Structure 1
Amino acid sequence: MIVSGPVYTAITGSPVAAATAAMIGLFAEKGMTQWGLPQILMICVPATLTGVVAGALVSMFLGKDLKDDPEYRARLAAGDIPAPQAAADRQPHKPAAKISAYLFLSGVALVVLLGFFPDLRQLCGAKGAIGMPIVIEVVMMSVAAIMLMLTRVNVDAVPKTATRRAGVVAVIGIFGLAWLGDSFIAANKEVIVPAIGHLAEVAPWTFAFGLFFSSVLLYSQAATTRALMPLGIVLGIPPQFLIAMFPSVNGDFFIPTYGSLIAAINFDLSGTTKIGKYVLNPSFMIPGLVATATAVSTGLLLARLMF
């Protein structure tokens, strides 16, 4: 499981980073070069952090405690999952685990640094900086390779880890679903985009709903950003408010077939994280809606106060 984290990050290409890169590219294309990564982070980081905290607080009051959950107790009695242990009784982490964790965090820090300073991604003789999705893939694959060399982990065991199995299922699922959603939007773009535009003309804040439900269909934050954010600029919505609405492109939790959702369900040995009996009531629904609504509301407030 040591190497699986950075490899999964590299394969999925970090959807949020790709969407952010699409947002920056859109502003640059429209001549709004004063709006870049620092301005996006100034609004989105505190806004999304507030949203995550709100979603976490709501999650504390959802479902039953493990000691009272019948499915968890049944799995525990059947020996399908290990019994909980006191901290003192747990085996200490191997030195390789600590090394891999530090390497992974270093890779994340390097990705953030390269995102902040595009000049560091500029190759000699190239017309522009290397795109962030490629940078993430190169950095994280390199981190995984360094982990293998330093920790001397059994390479044959890596593909057999739970993280790798969940990651492969997630990657295959997201490719198919993103393709399907993108095809649907492309085929009906002349109907969907004007409908969102007419609604946003009357009440600009409703543009966030258009972004959200489009991301539900597209299964891609970057594709949603590229498809609809230009419409927001055409409608005259100020850039700071478009940035504030940016978290609403993360509506892929609405239908529980997104890669990270599938992975989360597979990781949860307790069986308490579920797709839901009626599909549209997964474990992620209420926390996701609360987190998104809080993030967008906070972002709009910050955008009004900062700019």
Structure 2
Amino acid sequence: MLWVQLAVVLGAIFLGARLGSIGVGFAGAVGVLVLTLGLGMEPGSIPVDVILIIMSVIGAVAAMQVAGGLDYLVQMAEKILRSKPKYITFLAPTVTYVMTLLAGTGHTAYSTLPVIAEVAKENGVRPSRPLSIAVIASQIAITASPVSAAVVVFSGLLEPMGIGYLQLLAICIPTSYAAIMLTAVVCNFLGVDLDKDEIYQERLKAGMVSLRKTKERQETKPGAALSVAIFGISILAVVLYATAISSTVALIENPVLPRNSAIMVFMMVAATFITMLCKIDSAEIINAQTFKSGMSACICVLGVAWLGNTFVGAHINEIKELSGDILNDYPWLLAVCLFFASMLLYSQAATTRALMPAALALVDPVTAIASFAAVSALFVLPTYPTLLAAVEMDDTGSTRIGKLVFNHPFFVPGTICITLCVAFGFVFAPMVI
């Protein structure tokens, strides 16, 4: 029956990949239905905490977008990118990394991808180089963001082991950014130069490549800067409160408001103040692109994490017996497991919630933290929204998906970056813990 159940899980994930977007979550529920009512398995736990954190953070981000805050950040990003266009391959991932780090969602990268592609074209740089590493940076930054559901959930699992929230961030932020910058060096040598790309030359002759003749500047809304400030203060409040209630600092003993609940409260309070002080129509928030993307992510996490929890929970003892000795001898294999799991589960938070509890029962915390970045292998299958958006934004044709599915410009940089993250984690984590 184990193989039948596994076939159901993989079949549901494959169906979700075919449907795409929110369909990933819907298909996950189909898998849960077959496993429970069809095969008699006990349903796994629903990742309610993950979903609620995503909802509250996305609500604040969407409010900031309606107030013009994201446009304001994009304009700042464009100034940075245009100030040193020769270093676009390093500046582009830095911009998407920081925006994801602050917002807790990689969907903020959408707004910067057109700018990255445009600046690269204007300076004769193959757009696939900065675009590929920028998309990878936006995915890996989730494992370093103070307000991402994946970090919050993982930190909650580590706290009983005496590892605090700030310790986790102190490891994940420098290791992930260092890995991204080193991968950016490699990206500069991937693919032929733009002037030697035959597909680009064909598209150029056919008039399919466009360049902006003027640098259009969108008008900044009156409350744009204020909305960014309010959102930034709320993130700082989250970090400070989480530190104050942690067992290591213990400034607040027996807190009335747990950390997960505090994040939800702070984010929704931020959204309230943005709505009031920036004088936006709250009805417009639900039509914001980030809100739609975030709610789609909630459905995806609900479906695939519930599916994963149902299967893993039913076989946790077998997994421990099978994996225990292997992981003791080869702890780095945990990163490999997380890599392939996230490729299928399509979410850092869903992968963390489904597999990390079992992983922490098998390996030491250092191994788990070092391997954490591997939950970001969402780039393997060329179906993730930000990946597809990058392909669409590049009219030179350099950022293209090959006929073999896996031969796309995101695969090599993503694999290298996660490998470096894990390697740096194994070196750096013991110094912090």
TM-score, normalising length: structure 2: 0.53
- Structure 1 residues 39, 202: CA separation in 2 closer, same or farther (over 3 Å shift)? same
Pair 1:84 & 2:212 matched = yes
TM alignment of 1:37-76, pairs within 5 A = 37-62=165-190
Residue identity in the other structure for 1:26? L
| Structure-1 residue corresponding to 2:64 | 3
CA pair 176-283 structure 1, distance change in 2 beyond 3 A:
farther
1:136 corresponds to: 263
**Deviation, structure 1 residue 49:** 1.3
Cα offsets for 1:59-115 (capped at 9, x unmatched):
4555688897759x69x9689xx963544x524423322222222222222222223
Question: What's the CA shift string for 1:176-231, capped at 9, x where partnerless?
Answer: 33333333434554554444333213222222222333333444545544555455
Letter in 1 for 2:377: G
| More displaced stretch, 175-184 vs 271-280 | 271-280
Residues 144 and 60 of structure 1: CA distance in aligned 2, closer, same or farther (over 3 Å): farther
Identity of aligned residues (%): 32
- How many residue pairs were aligned? 291
Preserved contact between residue 158 and residue 164 of structure 2 (Cα < 8 Å): yes
Deviates more, 1:45-54 or 1:281-290: 281-290
For the structure 1 residues 156 and 61, does the alpha-carbon distance in structure 2 shift closer, same or farther, using more than 3 Å as the test? farther
Which whole-Å CA distance do the structure 2 matches of 1:254 and 1:62 have between them? Answer: 17
Q: Secondary structure at the match of 1:214?
A: helix
Encode CA deviations 1:245-279: one digit per residue, 9 max, x unaligned: 2222333443455xxx4256458762577776555
State the distance in 2 between where 1:115 and 1:216 align.
30
Provide the secondary structure at the position in 2 that maps to 1:254.
Answer: coil
Give me the CA root mean square deviation. Answer: 4.4
Give the secondary structure class of the aligned counterpart of 1:201.
helix
Q: 1:47 to 1:96 in 2, by over 3 A?
A: same
* Matching residue's letter, 1:117: A
Q: 1:114 to 1:266 in 2, by over 3 A?
A: farther
Residue in 2 aligned with 1:180?
307
Q: How does 1:79-228 map to 2 (within 5 A)?
A: 84=212, 86-87=214-215, 89-118=216-245, 129-132=257-260, 134-222=261-349, 224-225=351-352, 228=355
Residue in structure 2 matched with residue 262 of structure 1 by the alignment: 385
State the distance in 2 between where 1:292 and 1:196 align. 22
SS in 1 for 2:393: coil
User: Displacement, 1:296?
Assistant: 0.8
Conserved? CA contact 1:253–1:285, under 8 Å: yes
Match status 1:240 vs 2:301 = no
Gaps of 5+ in 2: 1-61, 70-99, 107-140
> In the alignment, which residue of structure 2 is the partner of 1:20?
151
CA spacing shift, 1:4–1:175, aligned 2, 3 Å = farther
User: Which secondary structure does the structure 2 equivalent of 1:90 belong to?
Assistant: coil
**Structure 1 residues 230 and 147, CA, compared in 2 at 3 Å: closer, same or farther?**
closer
Q: In 1, distance between residues paired with 2:358 and 2:376? A: 18
Gaps of 5+ in 1: none
Paired residue type of 1:303: A
Length-normalised TM-score, structure 1: 0.71
Distance in 2 separating the partners of 1:2 and 1:64: 42
